[in-house]
Structure 1
Amino acid sequence: MRRVAQVIRVRPEKLDEYRELHREVPEPVLARLRASHIANYSIHLLGDRLFSYFEYHGDDLDADLAAIAADPATQEWWKLTDPCQEPVPEAGEGEWWTPLERVFLME
């Protein structure tokens, strides 16, 4: 299993919209995540920063992420959520959600 933690900024004027969208994530979007071996996916908020965490149980994260990106239901979902977000200043070139460095793990 691989743990993935990421951060992105939520646009303050879109915060209520972002919360509302996530009250009912479309089932086809969730099904695609599950089919791509993603479990325990959560998003948390602090100020204007969104923190996401998920556990990956597959063998090829890049391929599974590509399958998610190619999924029509997910593409429609992202048309709603992407305008609510913007990369954090620490993001690398071309990054949307920015990976976080793990500094501690208790199992």
Structure 2
Amino acid sequence: MRHCLALDLVDDADAIARYEAWHAPGAVPAAVTRSIRDADIIDMEIWRAHDRLFMIMETGPGFSPNAKAAADMASEDVQAWERLMWEFQRPLPQAAPGEKWVAMRRIYALSQQPS
């Protein structure tokens, strides 16, 4: 299953550069990468347009957002990562209190268009 989410960054070029550096290959702590894979997230990409981020996740049948959230809360490594990332991130204006990444809704699919 594909999940698409959005989040904003602090609108500061230096902060954005540091955020990107933290996401370079090998820069994300191994425990964080392991927690992603252990949740049956098969692939994950984060794309950026200025200060807006888009995350695309491909998940397997064992993925549960609730189980992932609970596992993240129980992991000191993931919590340390989340605190660090909040230095760079800011919620979308329409995000609910405490909501970080906001789920996006697909509105178009070429595959559903007539030939």
Deviations 1:56-84 (A, max 9, x none): 21153311232123211111111211110
Q: Show CA shifts across 1:29-55 (max 9, x none).
A: 101111111121111000210110112
The percentage of counterpart residues that share the same residue type is 29
Question: 1:12-31 maps to which residues of 2 (within 5 A)?
Answer: 12-13=11-12, 14-23=15-24, 24-31=27-34
Instruction: Give the alignment's TM-score, normalised by structure 1.
Output: 0.87
Query: RMSD across aligned C-alpha pairs, in angstroms?
Result: 1.8
Larger Rg: 2
Which runs of no fewer than 5 residues in structure 2 stay unpaired?
none
Aligned 1:1-107 pairs, distance under 5 A: 2-13=1-12, 14-23=15-24, 24-57=27-60, 58-105=62-109, 106=111
Q: Which runs of 5+ in 1 are unaligned?
A: none
Report SS of the residue matched to 2:3: strand
Runs of 4+ in 1 over 3 A off after TM superposition: none
Q: Distance in 2 between matches of 1:59 and 1:36?
A: 6
Corresponding pairs, count: 106
- Distance in 1 separating the partners of 2:66 and 2:16: 29
Please, what TM-score do these two structures have when normalized by structure 2? 0.82
